[in-house]
Amino acid sequence: MFFQTIDILGTIAFAISGVLVAMNKRMDPFGVLIIAFVTAVGGGTLRDIMVGVEPVSWMRNMTFVYVIIGTTVFAMVFRNLLKHLRRSLFLFDTIGIGLYTVIGIETGLVADLHPIICVALGTMTACFGGVLRDILCNEIPVIFRKEVYATACIIGGFTYFLLRLFLEDRNYLFIIAGIVVIILRLVAVKFKISLPSLYKKDA
């Protein structure tokens, strides 16, 4: 139940981030719904395909479809409120990657994968939906910029496995690891921390 709750919260967060990007591009309601849907299930779909889950989770559980549709309608109706929330896209996207990182890790553990593979799976689960969203909206995906994005997911993932040595309660592991990802991303943006560039600026 706790795991499904986290999954639903992550779906809501990413669906809203998709709605905000699509509305910024002035898409029609159908386009907004498609972008929200792709953003919300893109990472999970890749995750399930990689671990051999057939059919993928959102096709077996209509709850996620209803949540995405409901979230999209809510976000469109209250779009003016969301627009007044400063950095709302950034916040929902950050919450989404934090929640989806631990979901991907848990899926990897259920599939009895190596911890490093689990971290990679969690990172892809968290980032791939946003990559699809940005590509479809003709934007350079955040993961390909200098911003701390996938790095936060990786650190949060390794934090999860480090904490497993001291904590047995998986619920606490999920919460703490997810919060680590969110805090790292928030701090990186707040203090403009980014990965070093491989290219020198022109003189």
pLDDT of residue 135: 96
3-state helix, strand, coil in the chain (%, to 5): 75, 0, 25
Q: Distance between CA atoms of 2 and 10, rounded to whole angstroms?
A: 12
Q: Give SS3 for 147.
A: strand
**Cβ–Cβ < 8 Å for 134, 21:** yes
pLDDT score, position 203:
46
Predicted local distance difference test score (pLDDT) of residue 115: 97
What pLDDT is recorded for position 201?
59
> CB atoms < 10 A from the CB of 193, how many?
13
Spatial contact of 123 and 157, defined as CB atoms under 8 Å apart: yes
What was the pLDDT predicted at 148? 85
State how far the Cα of 11 lies from the Cα of 22, in Å rounded to an integer.
16
pTM: 0.90
Confidence at residue 156, expressed as pLDDT on a 0 to 100 scale = 97
Phi and psi for 194 in degrees, rounded to 5?
Answer: -145, 165
pLDDT value at position 145?
Answer: 76
Task: Enter the tokens of residue 171.
Answer: 């619920």
CA distance 79 to 73: 10
Residue 83, pLDDT score: 66
Task: Return d(Cα 24, Cα 172) in angstroms, integer.
Answer: 37
Residue 66 · residue 11 · CB < 8 Å:
no
Q: Could you state, in order of their start, the residue ranges of all structural domains in the chain?
A: 2-190
Residue found under tokens 């904490």: 163
* Predicted local confidence at residue 200, as pLDDT: 64
The reported pLDDT for the residue numbered 108 is: 96
Rounded to a whole number, what is the distance in angstroms from the first to the last CA of the chain? 57
Q: Taking the chain (203 residues) in consecutive chunks of 10 residues, what is each chunk's mean pLDDT?
A: 86 92 93 97 96 93 96 89 67 92 95 97 96 94 82 96 91 93 93 76 53
Rounded distance, CA 26 to CA 48, Å? 32
